Structure 1
Amino acid sequence: MTEPGAGAAGQEDRLGPDPPAIRPSVFRDAVVWTGLPTPPGAGQPPTALAVRDGRIEAVGTAAEALAGAADELLDLGGGLLMPTFGDGHCHPDRGGFEALAPGGLFDARWLDAAAPDRPVAQRAWDYHTLWCNPTPPARVP
């Protein structure tokens, strides 16, 4: 990498070495789910995907064409490849009873003691866990 106009007598000073070329990783022999419908007459969904520098560069035959230059060539054995562009859920910061618990760890026995005669459910702060006491809900006639 050089900075134009730097240096003496038309020479450019070097700011450092050029970064090495980033070669792609190619995933092949997979059903690649793109989230797009397969156009009529297009046949099967793509079976290869190329990633370079953390970004999808090519899908299908264009990805297969990069296999010879790939840094990594990964055979997925006919598996399903579902690339993701971001995590579509969030974790509210420390909501629920565990925020009040020692060390932030909720104990579901507290629900039993607090409400032994009615059903109670409490979500964890990450919304991946739900605590329920053993009291079954009443049936609605």
Structure 2
Amino acid sequence: GLIMFLGVYFICGLTARYTNVSIGILMAISQASNMITNPIINFATLKNKMNASEPIVRSFYQRKESKISEKTLVSTIDTIKIDLDELKDKNKVLLKNIHLEFKRGKKYMITGPSGCGKTTLLKTIKGLYSTNAVTINGLTHAEFF
């Protein structure tokens, strides 16, 4: 799509230079090409985003299906509490001094520079790192899953 978009402008430029076509007609051709190429570019961008998120969604459903037991049947999650002094993986400190509580119905935003631990925090909440510092409705991951 982007190549088509730039190609039209290139062709319009060559046409304007070597022919007597008016700028108005060239602009009309350019606008018409935008109506064709923009949906293609938008679709390609959306498809790339969907492809990038597929492994995350797939792992969520696989984990959900493989870990369900009678004790995990909770209708809603009311609170997620994190009381983490330090999280290590292979003697590397991943998170330090995280004390948070998320309540149902409230909105939260996790921000910070690249590499500060935002994704690691979410993975910890999800249960990918073994710790008893995260509780969901008062239950640790071991009790919850």
> Is TM-score (shorter-chain normalized) higher than 0.5?
no
More helix by share: 2
More strand by share: 1
TM-score range, shorter chain: under 0.3
What is the TM-score when the length of structure 2 is the normalising length? 0.25
